Amino acid sequence: MDSLLTRIAEQDINLVTLNSQQSLTLWGFIAEHFTESDCEKAYALLMCSEFEVQSNKTRNSIVHLQRALLLLSLPQDSELILQVYSSLSYRYTDIGEYQNALDHLYSLSKLAVEHGDNEFYIQSILGIGNLCSIYGDHLKALRYYQKLDALSSSIKSNNLSLRYRLYTVACLLDLNRLSKAKKLLEECQIIQYVSDDAQLVAQVQLYSAKLLRLQNSPQAALNQLIAFKREYSSIHTFPWLNKLFSIETAYCLIQLQRGELADVIISHQLKQTKKYSQGYYIRQLLDVKSDALASYKSFSEALLCEKEAHSLTVDIIRNFPINELGNHSLRRLTRLELQLRLNISESENIKLKKVSDQQKDTVARLQQDVFHDSLTKLFNRRWFETTFVNEIKPSLEGYQLLVIDIDNFKSINDEYSHLTGDVILKIVSKILQESIGSSHYVARYGGEEFILIITSNNTKHGEEIAENCRIAIANFDWRETLNERTVTVSIGLTKNLKNEDYKATFLRADKALYQAKRSGKNKVCIY
């Protein structure tokens, strides 16, 4: 879809600045008048479907996804077909058509195996497990999630790695296995800092609050929910997520004997949710409302809610394909998993066989350049993750890691051009090189982010270098490049612990950087 996105960019359209309705209108126009192939049109329809969900138009979203599917063909469009199957399974789940949801999840798993796509296969298993949870069989859901344990190490996407853990956490909380949920949540709280999915980050906070409530700390849980929603108001653009936050907030209020306020929150959410969903999600809200009403002795109204919830439960059980989610389904997935491993292995072997002697010679000639960033001439991320980790790190008694990010760099690109942005990156690179001794290392990690490696355990020395870098950049005369504007950086600093994997060190430094950003930027934070 690079060609389509490039043509859109050439029209000076900034997709990031549009709200949901504007984006929906734009992608609808693109689908009908701007695309040049069936594949591009299908992609535009897929984008329409995503923004229709945000506008509570789930059934319209399904129609667009079905239209997209008719435009696509195997094998050339396999990746886009996988995306459509995945989206359809979510949409059918939202409106309570669980048989359709399961059918598309099975299609997704089969197609993912045929094309050796490990991550879409994992998504299909998560979806099937979620259906078990909707039915109320959390133990069976957990069995599906546990089938993915053997594949979890091969997940390349940070977002999928986080999603896989969050599904399991939700299941463990429903089963009241709090110690296991707590341990897995701690992993989620680390991974969230390398995730670019706001919905997943919000779920980490949601389940952290739920864990607190289940540990009989409802006020602490409520405070966490309020603080997060205040800071990340964009949560309202995701109806299903906003619903879950409302439910958890209401349960906290009920435990705090503030049932009337809980009732107000849930009643509002019920009204909103009925616009885009039915069945399971409405039943969830009715269960909470019943508890809220009962907590302040409105027993007759509570009973009415319970009767309505019971009626929905009967409908779910009557229409739910629970017999298709038994042991035979697990055995089927076991066979698919074996086939997936075989297909991936065969695909990798084919790629290896295509490597000719000429290509090997080319790789050898390029080897000297592969570890340097082409723009700044600094070491790059590949150097850090290979040469430093495998050759330099073992010889060090310890080291400190600084993760450095240029503040508001996107606005510099937007206001002054990407060419100016490149100049800024080169100047910052030079300042960083001049601010450290010859025994330390500096690398461009990616985009506007750099890392410094201080080859000592002297924390005072590390702090001095971090401050020297920050001050040198802030005090540099930027007028020739940016007129009156200045450039600053935020820095996260941490110390590598004995026998600690470099990834854990980086995540901690990245968390410190995040704290520096949140506390006002142009700062050094230590973790």
Query: Is residue 452 within 8 Å of residue 399, measured between CB atoms?
Result: no
Q: Which two tokens stand for residue 299?
A: 């027993």
H/E stretch holding 495: strand 489-495
123: CB partners within 8 A, 6+ apart: 86, 108, 112, 160
Q: Does 114 reside within a domain?
A: no
CA atoms within 13 A on the CB side of 162: 23
In a domain, 237, yes or no: no
514 contacts: CB under 8 Å, gap ≥ 6: 193, 492
Q: Tell me if 502 is assigned to some domain.
A: yes
How many whole angstroms separate alpha carbon 161 and alpha carbon 152?
A: 7
Q: Domain for residue 417, yes or no? A: yes
Instruction: Tell me how far apart the 2 most distant CA atoms of the chain are, in Å.
Output: 81
| Residue 150, pLDDT score | 77
> Is 188 exposed, middle or buried (CB count within 10 Å of its CB: 0-12, 13-18, 19+)?
buried
Q: Cβ distance 100 to 116 under 8 Å?
A: no
The pLDDT of residue 7:
86
pLDDT for the residue 280 = 78
Closest by alpha carbon to 186, among 170, 216, 214, 165? 165
Range of the domain at 457: 379-526
Q: How, if at all, do strands 524-526 and 489-495 pair? A: parallel
Residue-level pLDDT at 294 = 93
**Which ranges in 384-458 belong to alpha helices (H)?**
409-416, 418-434
Total of domains in the chain? 1
Binning the chain into helix, strand and coil, the percentages to the nearest 5 are: 70, 5, 20
- Beta pairing, strands 441-446 & 449-454: antiparallel
Structure letter (DSSP) for residue 496: P
Q: Quick one: pLDDT at residue 358? A: 63
Q: Residue 222: which residues within 8 A CB-CB, separation 6 or more?
A: 209, 249, 252, 253, 256
What is residue 208's predicted lDDT score, i.e. its pLDDT?
95
Render each residue's pLDDT in the chain as its tens digit; 527 residues. Answer: 778 888 888 888 777 788 888 888 999 999 998 999 999 999 999 999 988 887 778 889 999 999 999 999 988 999 999 999 999 998 998 888 889 999 999 999 989 888 888 889 889 999 999 998 888 889 999 988 988 887 777 788 889 999 999 999 999 999 999 999 999 999 999 999 888 888 899 999 999 999 999 999 999 999 999 988 887 766 666 777 888 999 999 999 999 999 999 999 999 988 887 776 667 788 889 999 999 999 999 999 999 999 988 888 888 888 788 777 777 676 766 767 666 666 656 655 655 666 655 666 665 556 657 899 989 999 999 999 999 999 999 999 999 999 999 999 999 999 999 999 999 999 999 999 999 988 899 999 999 999 999 999 999 999 999 999 999 999 999 999 998 899 999 999 999 998 899 999 999 999 999 999 999 999 999 99
Q: How far is C-alpha 222 from the chain's CA centre?
A: 24
What sign does the dihedral 238-243-248-252 (CA atoms) show? Answer: positive
Element (H, E) at 524: strand 524-526
Asked if residue 432 is part of any domain, the answer here is yes
Q: What is the DSSP string of 20-40?
A: HHHHHHHHHHHHHHT--SHHH
pTM of the complete model beyond 0.75: no
Count helices and strands (H / E) in the chain.
Answer: 25, 6
Read off the tokens for 74.
């195997």
Domain containing residue 458: CATH number = 3.30.70.270
State how far the Cα of 229 lies from the Cα of 237, in Å rounded to an integer: 12
User: Residue 25 CB: number of other CB atoms within 10 A?
Assistant: 13
Instruction: Mark out the alpha helices in 274-417 (DSSP H runs).
Output: 280-295, 299-319, 327-353, 357-366, 381-383, 409-416
Alpha-carbon span 130 to 320, nearest angstrom: 13
